[in-house]
Copies of this chain bind each other. A is one copy, B any other.
Amino acid sequence: MTAVPAFAAIDWGTTRLRAWLIDSAGVVLAERRGDDGLISARETGFATVLDGHLAAMGAPAGLPVVMCGMVGARQGWLEAPYADVPVPLAAVLEGAAKVPHAGRDIRIVPGVAQRLAEAPDVMRGEETQLAGAGLEGRGRHVVCMPGTHSKWVVVEDGAVTGFGTWPTGELFSVLAAHSILRHSLGEHTAAVSADAPLFRRWCETALGEGGDVMARLFSIRAAGLLQGLGADDAAACLSGLLIGAEIASASRRYRPGGGAVTLVASGPLGVLYGAALGLAGHAIRPVDADAAVRVGLFEAARRNGMVP
């Protein structure tokens, strides 16, 4: 390593961790990925896990660290209290909590809470992706961030004004493993393709039904019994149904209207959501989720005086 890192950026979630060394211009000098998310780090010790990854990347002693994600939850390293909506993204980053540590300056970006009686919600990590998503400072943006717990966020003039969670990825996994649909999907091996006709058809059906998934779930099982639907096809149906329902439901709440939906995603999930948003008639502004979190952490480092 010839360039000099200015800080380490860590995205530390429940089941995995990603770490980067970044220089003062925002250039990535080193990268690490680990399976030592919160669950294992609570046993090993957060400082030990962090020091191990920093050493493996050759980080100099005393290098400052900026983190985001579940590491700031109550059951994480140190609780970084939520910022409440409406809140400017810049203010969220500037509110990073300081972890007591002898050797280096360590900060955790807080999550964001929506304390509405009818729609309470929380995020941790997505606020940093939003800060790095390159949203224009002015105007209203509807942002879709798919995943285990998909978030839809409204950002107005640089501030998060409202958001919601659709547990689409988790529903897929839990239904495939533990419901009667395990008989239909149990043997599925192929990843769902955005081009699969059944993915598209079930997605379109769901888009027309305003987020109602309950009426169709059992049809996947019945189609197996009556029409011989195979496991990979059943997975395409369920994926289309759930993603279509999420988009219908979130679009009704946040009304992207004629404006583009900013899609913050990576890999195959980004392709599926891109196709589904297209079927819903939305224009898309794609943002790579991995890049967004790095840019957001760089911005957090800058706003906390760790880089010039």
Q: Within the assembled complex, what's the spacing in Å between the Cα atoms of A177 and B149?
A: 17
Q: Evaluate contact between A218 and B178: CB separation under 8 angstroms.
A: no
Q: From residue A197, how far is it (CB to closest CB) to chain B in Å?
A: 13
Q: Which B residues are in CB contact (< 8 Å) with A249?
A: 212, 214-215
For chain A, the count of residues having a C-beta within 8 Å of the partner chain is 49
Q: What B residues does A177 contact at CB under 8 A?
A: 178
Query: What are the interface flags for A163-197 relative to B under an 8 Å C-beta threshold, 1 for contact and 0 otherwise?
Result: 01111101100110111100000000000000000
**Distance, CA A297 to CA B245, complexed state (A):** 40
Given contacts A118-B205, A120-B226, A226-B115, contact A212 B211 (CB under 8 A): yes
Q: How far apart are the CA atoms of A214 and B218 in the complex, in Å?
A: 16
Chain B residues with CB under 8 Å of A210's CB are 209-212
Minimum CB–CB distance from A96 to chain B (whole Å) comes to 20
- Asked if A174 and B165 sit within 8 Å, CB to CB, the answer is no
25 contacts between A and B (CB under 8 A): A82-B226, A114-B222, A115-B227, A119-B216, A119-B219, A120-B225, A120-B227, A121-B222, A122-B225, A164-B218, A165-B218, A166-B215, A166-B218, A167-B180, A167-B217, A170-B179, A170-B180, A171-B214, A174-B174, A174-B178, A211-B212, A211-B214, A214-B245, A214-B246, A214-B249
Among A123-181, those with CB < 8 Å from B are 149, 164-168, 170-171, 174-175, 177-180
Tell me the nearest residue of chain B to A175, going by C-beta. Answer: B174
